[in-house]
């Protein structure tokens, strides 16, 4: 059975959606760069080993990433899932896990990389917003796209309501992609995400009925 590690920084709702999805793999650790991340407690409650590595205790980004990589490697994972992990990773770290490092980002990339994606979407006036799961490369939020889910932007939306609608889709999309990887169907090949077999249509575009 393939082994995976989840990296978080906060609430951990995407982590919970992965842990509760009965994925065909074993979550061998949840690691946070913030000792007070709420997700650590909910991972521990599910019997998953948890570790906090406080980035503030390290003099440089390189030092933190080296400690993080040493911890991860101790679990010998096949897959590393960033789930609300709010740290920019060094190129060296990203390259070490190339092809087995995934992230979920709350926008339809390449639109709105970075932070405050829902505010960016509202300011731009887009009518569709959503989330993206991608392989991580050194380009911030710029790695090969694996899957996306879209939601409508409603006239009365604010950042909170839009974020909530996107989050529902995040929780459906990330476990689906993780499952593909753990089944050996998904790989990074020549700078593109390649999926063996068909993805269900719902995996490519999911627009729920507006409430
Ligand atoms: C999610 O919207 C994720 O896409 C973004 O940060 C948020 C984290 O939420 N990167 P959670 O910690 O998974 O609840």
In this structure, is residue 161 part of a structural domain? no
Ligand 1 binding pocket mutation candidate from 30, 40, 170 (most atoms within 8 A of CB): 170
Distance CA 53, CA 131 (A): 27
Q: What is the pLDDT of residue 211?
A: 40
Domain limits for position 16: 2-104+132-144+173-192
- Give a yes or no: residue 61 inside a domain: yes
Question: Could you tell me where the DSSP H helices lie in 10-99?
Answer: 13-19, 38-45, 61-74, 91-96
| Ligand 1 atom 6 nearest Cα | 84
Residue 201 lies in a domain: no
Q: Give the per-residue pLDDT at 198.
A: 73
Residue range 137-184, pLDDT digits in tens: 999 999 999 999 999 999 999 999 999 999 999 999 999 999 999 999
Residue 164 counted as domain residue: no
Smallest CA-to-CA distance from 94 within 52, 135, 47 is with: 135
Name the pTM for this structure: 0.94
Nearest-angstrom CA–CA distance, 83 and 105? 9
Asked, for residue 167, whether it belongs to a domain, the answer is no
User: Out of 105, 118, 134, 206, which one is annotated catalytic?
Assistant: 105
The ligand 1 atom at the shortest distance from the C-alpha of residue 163 is: 2
Specify if 16 maps to a domain.
yes
Distance of alpha carbon 93 from alpha carbon 79, whole angstroms: 14
* Farthest-apart Cα atoms in the chain, separation: 49
Q: Specify whether the CB–CB gap between 101 and 80 falls below 8 A.
A: yes
Annotate 96-128 with three-state secondary structure.
HCCCCEEEEECCCCCCCCCCCHHHHHHHHCCCE
Q: Is 105 a catalytic residue?
A: yes
Q: How many angstroms separate the Cα of 61 from the Cα of each of 68, 96, 98? A: 10, 15, 19
CB neighbour list of residue 101: distance below 8 Å, 6 or more residues apart: 80, 82, 94, 135, 136
Q: How far is the CA of 105 from the centre of ligand 1 (A)?
A: 8
In a domain, 45, yes or no: yes
Euclidean distance between CA atoms 143 and 139, whole angstroms: 6
Cβ proximity of 28 and 5 under 8 Å: yes
Question: What are the angstrom distances between the C-alpha of 57 and each of 70, 91, 159?
Answer: 16, 20, 33
From residue 156, how far is each of 76, 109, 164, 192, 211 by CA, in Å?
Answer: 47, 23, 13, 37, 11
- Tokens for 110? 């390449």
Residue 204 has pLDDT above 50, yes or no: no
Q: What is the total count of domains within the chain?
A: 1
Cβ neighbors of 96 (< 8 A, separation 6 or more) are 69
How does pLDDT run across 22-66, given as a tens digit for each residue? 999 999 999 999 999 999 999 999 999 999 999 999 999 999 999
| Residue 185 resides in a domain | yes
Report CA(83)–ligand 1 centroid distance (Å): 6
Atom of ligand 1 nearest to the CA of 86: 10
The protein residue with its alpha carbon nearest to ligand 1, atom 12, reads: 12
Q: Which of 84, 107, 169, 171 to mutate to test the pocket of ligand 1 (most atoms within 8 A of CB)?
A: 84
Average pLDDT over the chain, rounded to whole?
94
3-state secondary structure of 56: helix
Determine the distance separating the centroid of ligand 1 and the alpha carbon of 70, expressed in angstroms: 24
- CATH label of the domain that carries residue 12: 3.40.50.170
């Amino acid at each position: 059975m393939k082994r995976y590690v989840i990296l978080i920084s906060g609430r951990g709702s995407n982590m919970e959606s992965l842990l509760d999805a009965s994925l065909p793999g074993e979550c061998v650790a949840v690691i946070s760069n913030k000792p007070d991340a709420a997700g650590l407690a909910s991972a521990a409650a599910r019997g998953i080993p948890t570790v906090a590595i406080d980035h503030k205790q390290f003099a440089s980004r390189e030092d933190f990433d080296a400690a993080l990589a040493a911890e991860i490697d101790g679990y010998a994972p096949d897959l590393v899932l960033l789930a609300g992990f709010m740290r920019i990773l060094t190129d060296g770290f990203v390259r070490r896990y190339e092809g087995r490092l995934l992230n979920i980002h709350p926008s339809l990339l390449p639109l709105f990389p970075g932070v405050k994606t829902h505010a960016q979407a509202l300011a731009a006036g887009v009518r569709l917003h959503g989330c993206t799961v991608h392989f991580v490369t050194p380009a911030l939020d710029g790695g090969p796209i694996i899957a996306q889910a879209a939601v409508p932007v409603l006239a009365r939306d604010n950042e909170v309501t839009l974020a909530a609608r996107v989050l529902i889709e995040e929780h459906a999309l990330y476990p689906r992609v993780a499952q593909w990887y753990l089944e050996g169907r998904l790989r990074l090949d020549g700078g593109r995400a390649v999926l063996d077999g068909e993805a269900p249509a719902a995996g490519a575009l999911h627009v729920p009925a507006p409430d």
